[in-house]
């Protein structure tokens, strides 16, 4: 195997093994930051040795064994006399943990370790931005530049978020464990929020020159599937997996030849990925089987399923979607959900009724800078033949979005209103 091939193999191994490796190390040393450092020490050793020796038969075990030796070497090299008393105490704890650790179990018992790592990187003590960056770094194996490019922020900003997150986890002594039953619901909710945020940023980017970033959605779906496998009795985990699978099924139909956005009702549904839809419907069925009523993600997945099951847009069951939005609004009240419900109301019973709801939502502070409010209002006004007002709303929506393809789409809709208005006049 040539050196470039070994490099690609190491990169692939790291993507697969990094979360397991860091999780296993974190369980032993009880410090996520130190665990990541040790894992990267092992990666450096692989980059140095594997081009000569070849990729080992069990690369995960090799990395774990190497991380163990690097950990011991680190402690031997440390200048003990120059350390503060509390640092000495911590070092002794780590020495003891390393000597007592069952390293074979650390290699084999990866499921629980990865689950612990997910709950740690998504701990509510961290801001959402910090949870997202740390999760993509430790569980996704993404580099700081990759995360920065994905979210259109500077590398220094991402690096600071990761450093502060690890410091916060250490200072607040967040335990490296699966949460107890009495706090599980809140903690699962925190994890799902992070995973869905990552997915959404890929599904419809909030800024930049791309309408979609499929690699981000793919990473979120991978995390969701891992979580579903590790926590099979949590219905909302399956609900989120279902939602992501069904929405991701539309990717090929969501952009035109030049990367322009294609809205849901205008998409060529023959280009949808019906294998993903089938997987999503299976996950939704699992969420329903677990009982206890559908949660917010499962309800959103049910809405997505209504769209997926309509082979042409005209067959969409809008009354059913409206009823699901009613249930979602009752369970998780939000102006954004109310706005989406208004769209369903307009499709089911006409734009007049929907416009009344949207006009009421205009007073919501949370929607003041939300570009989809004037976008929805513009669409309703267009359907009602109020073209001048619709044009103004589309132009306002365009001014509020940071996504270039979406801005172009909104301005094109505004221009269409102007053309139609002139022809009517």
Three-state secondary structure readout of 161-180: HHHHHHHHHHHCCCCCCCCC
Query: What is the spatial distance between Cα 35 and Cα 4, in angstroms, rounded to a whole number?
Result: 28
Q: Which of 400, 402, 348 is nearest to 378 (CA)?
A: 400
The pLDDT of residue 80 is 47
pLDDT at 77: 59
Would you say 147 and 137 are in contact if contact means Cβ atoms under 8 Å apart? yes
pTM over the 0.85 mark: no
Q: For residue 29, which of 98, 99, 115, 103 has the smallest C-alpha distance?
A: 98
**What pLDDT sits at residue 302?**
98
Phi/psi for 208 (5° steps) reads 95, -165
The answer to whether residues 23 and 110 touch, using CB atoms and an 8 Å cutoff, is: yes
- How far is 36 from 176, CA to CA, in rounded Å? 14
- CA-to-CA distance for 321 and 179, rounded, in angstroms? 35
d(CA 300, CA 294): 9
Range 248-277 burial, b when 16+ CB lie within 10 A, else e: bbbbebbbeeeeebbeeeebebeebbeebb
E strand map for 222-372? none
C-alpha span between 265 and 316 (Å, rounded):
10
Q: What are the pLDDT tens digits along the chain (425 aa)?
A: 556 677 788 888 887 888 888 988 888 888 899 889 999 999 999 989 998 888 888 888 899 889 888 877 766 655 444 455 455 455 555 555 545 545 444 434 445 788 889 999 999 999 999 999 999 999 888 889 888 887 878 999 999 999 999 999 999 999 888 888 788 888 899 999 999 999 998 898 887 888 888 888 998 999 999 899 888 999 999 999 999 999 999 999 999 988 899 999 999 999 999 999 999 999 999 999 998 889 999 999 999 999 999 999 999 999 999 999 999 999 999 999 999 999 999 999 999 999 999 999 999 999 999 999 999 999 999 999 999 999 999 999 999 999 999 999 999 999 999 988 776 55
Number of neighbours of residue 339 by Cβ within 10 angstroms:
22
The phi, psi pair for 261, rounded to 5°, reads -70, 140
d(CA 362, CA 394): 15
User: 302, 331 in Cβ contact below 8 A?
Assistant: no
Neighbours of 108 (CB within 10 A): 13
Which value, to the nearest 10 degrees, does the dihedral of the CA atoms of residues 28, 32, 37, 39 take?
A: 60
Non-local (6+) Cβ contacts of 370 within 8 A are 336, 339, 400
pLDDT of res. 81: 43
**CA gap 74, 224 in Å, rounded:** 35
Q: Supply the DSSP symbol for 403.
A: E
Adjacent-strand bridge partners of 422: none
- Chain centroid to CA 69: 34
Closest among 19, 192, 195, 24 to 98, alpha carbons compared:
24
pLDDT at site 90: 52
């Amino acid at each position: 195997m040539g050196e470039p091939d070994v490099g690609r193999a190491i990169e692939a191994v790291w993507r697969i093994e990094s979360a397991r490796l860091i999780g296993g190390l974190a369980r032993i040393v009880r410090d996520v930051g130190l665990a990541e450092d040790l894992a990267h020490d092992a990666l450096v050793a692989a980059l140095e040795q594997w081009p000569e020796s070849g990729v080992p038969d069990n690369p995960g075990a090799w990395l774990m064994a190497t991380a163990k030796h690097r950990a011991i070497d680190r402690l031997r090299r440390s200048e003990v006399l120059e350390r503060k008393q509390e640092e000495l105490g911590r070092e002794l704890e780590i020495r003891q943990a390393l000597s007592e650790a069952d390293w074979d179990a650390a290699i084999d018992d990866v499921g629980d370790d990865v689950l612990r790592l997910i709950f740690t990187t998504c701990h509510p003590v961290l801001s959402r931005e910090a949870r997202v960056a740390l999760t993509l770094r430790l569980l996704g194996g993404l580099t700081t530049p990759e995360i920065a490019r994905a979210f259109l922020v500077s590398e220094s900003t991402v690096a600071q978020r990761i450093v502060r997150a690890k410091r916060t986890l250490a200072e607040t002594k967040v335990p490296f464990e699966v949460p107890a039953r009495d706090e599980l619901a809140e903690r699962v909710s925190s994890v799902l929020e992070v995973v869905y945020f990552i997915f959404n940023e890929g599904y419809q980017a909030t800024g930049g020159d791309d309408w979609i970033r499929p690699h981000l959605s793919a990473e979120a779906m991978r995390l969701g599937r891992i979580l579903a496998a590790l926590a099979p009795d949590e219905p909302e985990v399956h609900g989120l997996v279902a939602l992501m699978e069904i929405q991701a099924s539309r990717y090929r139909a969501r952009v035109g030849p030049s990367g322009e956005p294609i809205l849901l009702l205008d998409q060529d549904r023959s280009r949808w990925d019906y294998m993903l839809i089938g997987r999503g419907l299976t996950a939704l069925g699992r969420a329903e089987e677990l009982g206890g009523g559908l949660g917010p993600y499962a309800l959103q997945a049910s809405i997505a399923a209504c769209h997926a099951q309509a082979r042409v847009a005209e067959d969409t069951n809008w009354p059913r979607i409206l009823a699901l939005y009613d249930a979602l609004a009752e369970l998780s009240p939000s102006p954004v959900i109310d706005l989406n419900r208004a769209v369903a109301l307009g499709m089911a019973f006409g734009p007049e009724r929907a416009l009344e709801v949207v006009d009421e939502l205009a007073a919501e502070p949370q929607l003041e800078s939300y570009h989809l409010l004037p976008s929805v209002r513009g669409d309703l006004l267009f359907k009602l033949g109020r073209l001048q007002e619709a044009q103004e709303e589309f132009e306002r929506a365009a001014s509020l979005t940071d996504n270039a393809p979406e801005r172009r789409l909104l301005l094109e809709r505004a221009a269409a209103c102007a053309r139609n208005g002139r022809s009517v006049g």
